[in-house]
A and B are shown apart, each in its own frame.
Chain A
Amino acid sequence: LNIGTVIKVLFNSFSFVLLVAVTLFLYYLPFFKAWQPFILVSASLVFYGSGQPALLLLLIFSAFLNAFTANWLLQHRALKKRFILASFGVAGNLLLLSFFKYNRFLAGMIWQDLEGLQGPAHWVLMLPLPLGISFFTFKGISLVIDAYRSMDQATDNQSIVNRGQKINILSSILHILFFPQLLAGPITRFSHFQNQFRIKNFNEVPWQRAIKSIIVGYFLKMVVADNLKDLTFWIQYPQFKDKSSLDLLAFSYGYSIQIFADFAGYSLIAIGLSALFGYQVPANFNFPYIAQSFSEFWRRWHISLSTWLKDYLYIPLGGNRKGCSRTYLNLLITMFLGGLWHGAAWSFAIWGVVHGLALSIERPFLKTRFYLSRHVLAVSCRTLLVFSFVMFSWTFFILTDCRHVIEYFSAIINNVHYRPARSDIFLIGLYTLPVIIYHGLYLSRNPARRLIPDSFNAFAYATMLAAIVLNSGSPDTFIYFQF
């Protein structure tokens, strides 16, 4: 990704703040109330166009393709025709995704020397990756499949509308384009959005919830993730080779917290901004690092993607209804494709398979004493096991060449005699602390509910706000923008 083109649409840029302010002002002006969806669509196009104007047409095409396909599916009853159209709709989305995101990856399987290609092939390979393409195509696929499934209410209790009923084209387009969620989700379902699609009033805005969500989101991104990013930079090849084992362990740990803070921060900002425009978006993260099993981790991490994969891939494949070996296979296939969704490289696929294997291996043990025990030692062991596994598996996200991943792990083993960079380790500890506290507070709130008094709440948010102003790191794009 060229940061230069992306920087304009960063959530922490002034142009973005200005865009939100102007959009909010126009959105709630009594005179423009009837135009609210158009205002949001326009703002979304300005938002996307400021980063990648050349690819705006692609986004519009994708939104229209899905909106009209879904609408047509809802109006027709002939099962065969509906199946064919839905298949075309899904295939169209997957083709777009393959053409723009996986072109180099697929071509690399056919041709050895991609740099040597000339003519149209070279032009195709040079196409920039459209921002958020994985997110808006997945939203589109979900819209088409939901419209197709709405024929048979028994298959899906979240059907978007009743059979034979039209959907509002504008609402389905806005659902895909809605700028707070456009670049990195959450991948909401259309049914959820459609239910909220109406004229919004200024006095209905949940200001407190929205602003608190935005503050925590910006804090996680600008203070935690952006500062950690400069410290964990050394995981890159070949820089890591000369770092001590302790440094490398600290970097892995720091990156685990960084990727959480980066993406959870983005999601919270998106949720807060959506709330400002009167749309409720479900949480995308639920304190994932307290998970005690891999299946629990995936119920807490990137919830909208996990749910999407479960609803549109795992369950249609047969889920756990076709015996043990088929369940494991389904898990592996789902996680393999889920991994590949993140990036067009084998390392992402391996990352997915590694998680699929962990889910499969864990499955028979979930009802053993180790997993059922509530003893603090057993709980700590389970949490530590899941966290350590997840932490090391992130290495595949940074080092896209698997040989480098192996070298990284051997450096952890071999570089024990190198001198660690104490200040870097200290800073990693410092910047990861808020996330540890964040998870810790959640854990402690469960039994006691009121560990932190409400009066301290305002002080905690004010501290985060002060940290944003006084201690932000160097701004960078969100990690998940590249997916």
Chain B
Amino acid sequence: MPLLKYILFVLRHPLLGIGFWFIVLFVGYGTLIQLFPPQVMVDCQEQRIKNRIRAENFLYAPGAFDCVLTGSSMTARLPDEALDERIYKLAFGGGTPIEGLEIVLRSNQLPKLVVVEVNALVTDPLDFIPEHLFNPVFERLRSYLSFMRTEYRPASVVVSALAAAHGLPPVSSGASKVKKKILENYLERAAQQGGHLPEEPLFTDNLNRLEKLVQQLEDSGVQVVFLYMPMHPKIAMMRARAAVLTRTRQRFDPTRYNWLEPGKHRDFETTDGVHLNRSEARYVAEYIHREIRELLALL
């Protein structure tokens, strides 16, 4: 019984025992996920986890997409059912288009068209997302061992199971309505902040980074289109927001680049001043879809 002897030795050894049980747990969990793949409720996850899942699903998708939408939560909340499966939303809550564009460039899965939502260029890019995605060890591991992806984290699986038990759908279609008081609070605060110009040098740095990325995409034969998402009219008219749009348009001249501005001709309803409510999000998604299809047809 030398094998049993070895196993007993390993189990009794303080450090080898840890290694043994780690392998048992790791392989066991992987096998469980492979045999019974859970349906993970992405919308029930916390925002950063949601962002990571979205980025990984793009990187490990079987083929390239025709079009990629990059930007912030304003784009991320557009309902998937109003777009189609050849369009991927690589937009991140709390983020900018910069991280999405970096992922597209580093992924070697170049689409024909990239849409860049520029509303949130005044915040710090979430650089940890590309860093997490292209980690020298885990990038390769995650491509072979799908259970190591964020989507299949034990906590994500547990939360999804609980959400499913409560009858929640796997993916919600856009933002839900919020209380009037919350919207008023948002508008009041936005009014306080909106009187200032965008924070510098952050905004200029972001514009410079964006310009470089757009240039690289164009050099690789990808067409770039800009998108300015509609907001609550009171916020859209604020000094800071107007300055973002004006300066971004100066940098990316509308005579050279296509600009999609669904909010140009009418006011939109939002849940919090910035994010569109469900029906408005659907309307904008359908508009973007139509425009993308027309542009793709020309390529």
Contact = CB atoms under 8 A, between A and B. Distances in A.
A and B pair up:
yes
Interface of A: 3-4, 7, 14, 207-208, 211-212, 215, 227, 230-231, 238, 241-242, 418, 423-424, 426-427, 430-431, 455, 457-459, 461-463, 465-467, 469-471, 473-476
B131 interface: yes
Interface string B111-139: 00000000000000001100110011100
Contacts of B11: 455, 458
Contacts of A431: 155
B48 A461 contact: no
B276 to A, nearest CB: 18
Given A14-B137, A242-B186, A426-B162, A208 B14 contact: yes
Interface of B: 11-12, 14-15, 17-22, 24-26, 29, 44, 46-49, 52, 127-128, 131-132, 135-137, 147-148, 153-155, 158-159, 162-163, 179, 182, 185-186, 189
Contact of B148 (A430, A458, A469): A469
Contacts of B135: 14
Nearest to A467: B154
A426 B165 CA distance: 14
A7 B22 CA distance: 28
Given A426-B159, A427-B155, A466-B29, A7 B131 contact: yes
Given A470-B26, A474-B48, 13 more contacts: A3-B128, A4-B127, A231-B46, A423-B163, A455-B11, A458-B21, A461-B21, A462-B17, A466-B25, A467-B154, A469-B148, A470-B153, A474-B49
A418 B39 CA distance: 30
Nearest to B47: A230
A422 to B, nearest CB: 8
8 contacts: A3-B128, A4-B127, A7-B131, A230-B47, A458-B20, A470-B29, A471-B154, A474-B132
A102 to B, nearest CB: 24
A314 B59 CA distance: 57
Contact of A470 (B19, B154, B162): B154
Indicate the member of B44, B154, B155 with the most A CB atoms within 10 Å: B155
B15 A207 contact: yes
Nearest to A229: B48
Nearest to B156: A471
B128 A475 contact: yes
B161 to A, nearest CB: 11
Interface of B (DSSP majority class): helix
Contact of A423 (B25, B44, B127, B154): B44
Contact of A459 (B12, B21, B127, B147): B21
A430 B182 contact: no
Contacts of B185: 238, 241-242
Contacts of A211: 15, 18
Contacts of B148: 469-470
B49 A458 contact: no
Given A242-B182, A430-B155, A470-B148, A465 B132 contact: no
Indicate the member of B22, B159, B186 with the most A CB atoms within 10 Å: B22
Contacts of B18: 211, 215, 458, 461-462, 465
Nearest to A242: B182
A230 B25 contact: no
B48 A230 contact: yes
Contact of B15 (A3, A208, A463, A467): A208
Contacts of B147: 470
B49 A462 contact: no
A415 to B, nearest CB: 10
A213 B17 CA distance: 16
B49 A238 contact: no
A470 B28 CA distance: 12
Contacts of B25: 462-463, 466
Contacts of A455: 11-12, 17
A458 B16 CA distance: 8
A461 B21 CA distance: 9
Nearest to B179: A418
Contacts of B128: 3, 7, 474-476
Contacts of B14: 208, 212, 457-458
Contacts of B179: 418
Nearest to B158: A430
Contacts of A458: 11, 14, 17-18, 20-21
A463 B21 contact: yes
Contacts of A241: 185, 189
A315 B135 CA distance: 50
A207 B16 CA distance: 12
Contacts of B22: 462, 465-466
A87 to B, nearest CB: 42
A430 B158 CA distance: 10
